[in-house]
């Protein structure tokens, strides 16, 4: 029975960016590995954490005139089978040409994913691999469930774990030199 299922699935057509682009604006999907993956609205804790980070990061980037901060839903196109909507991303001014009318066309310098039960597996596997392959310089994985943040930094073409903060401590960015945020601030309710 498993062989039959695998045979049937192997004949199924993979979705492409062309298919993805036909979805209505705001449709809660990402294109991951050639599959249209439903991304339901995240829990309020996820949204609160993301909002706090976006607010702090946006102010810092604007005050220092570094580039642009975007948050989900903003399409980031990597290839015909990989278009994601990271929770937060940063594009410096000197790479502004990748900011197009309908999407970011290429790897942001910094990507942040706030884990949700429905997306954590993809954030930690397929998306991690794509971010690494396409040249993301810094990748933050924020886990509201255990109040942890892992910061991966580009090192010799790979994303390597550079910092882990659990509950309390300063999360520092290398891409946004001088930018830091307290983990406790991100995770507290107020």
Contact 50, 57 (CB under 8 A): no
Query: Longest Cα pair distance anywhere in the chain, in angstroms?
Result: 60
Q: What global pTM score does this model have? A: 0.90
At residue 40, the pLDDT reads 84
Q: Residue 2: its pLDDT value, please? A: 46
Residue 139 token pair: 């990748």
Q: What is the mean pLDDT of each run of 10 residues along the chain (190 residues)?
A: 41 82 90 91 92 98 98 96 97 98 97 92 94 98 96 97 96 97 92
Pairing of strands 88-92, 35-38: unpaired
Q: What is the pLDDT of residue 12?
A: 54
Q: How far apart are the two ends of the chain, measured CA to CA in Å?
A: 52
Q: Note the CATH number of domain 40-187.
A: 3.90.1570.10
Q: What are the residues whose beta carbons fall under 8 Å from the beta carbon of 23, sequence distance 6 or more?
A: 29, 36
DSSP 99: B
Domain borders along the chain are 40-187
CA distance to 1, 33, 59, 140, 146, per residue, from 187 (Å): 46, 31, 19, 15, 10
Cα angle 86, 151, 67 (rounded to 5 degrees) comes to: 55
């Amino acid at each position: 029975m498993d062989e039959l299922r695998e045979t049937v699935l192997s004949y199924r057509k993979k979705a492409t960016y062309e298919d993805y682009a036909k979805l209505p604006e705001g449709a809660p999907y990402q294109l991951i590995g050639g599959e249209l993956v439903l991304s339901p609205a995240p829990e309020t804790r996820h949204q609160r954490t993301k909002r706090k980070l976006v607010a702090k990061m946006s102010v810092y980037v604007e005050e220092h005139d570094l580039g642009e901060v975007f948050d989900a839903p903003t399409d980031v196109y990597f290839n015909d089978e990989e278009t994601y909507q990271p929770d937060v991303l940063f594009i410096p001014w000197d790479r502004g040409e990748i900011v197009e009318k309908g999407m970011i066309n290429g790897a942001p310098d910094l990507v942040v994913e706030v884990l949700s039960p429905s997306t954590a597996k993809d954030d930690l596997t397929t998306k991690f691999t794509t971010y690494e392959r396409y040249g993301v310089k810094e990748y933050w994985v924020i886990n509201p469930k255990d109040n942890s943040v892992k910061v991966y930094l580009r090192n010799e073409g790979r994303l390597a774990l550079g910092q882990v903060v659990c509950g309390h401590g300063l999360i520092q960015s290398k891409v946004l030199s001088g930018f830091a945020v307290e983990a406790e601030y991100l995770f507290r309710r107020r």
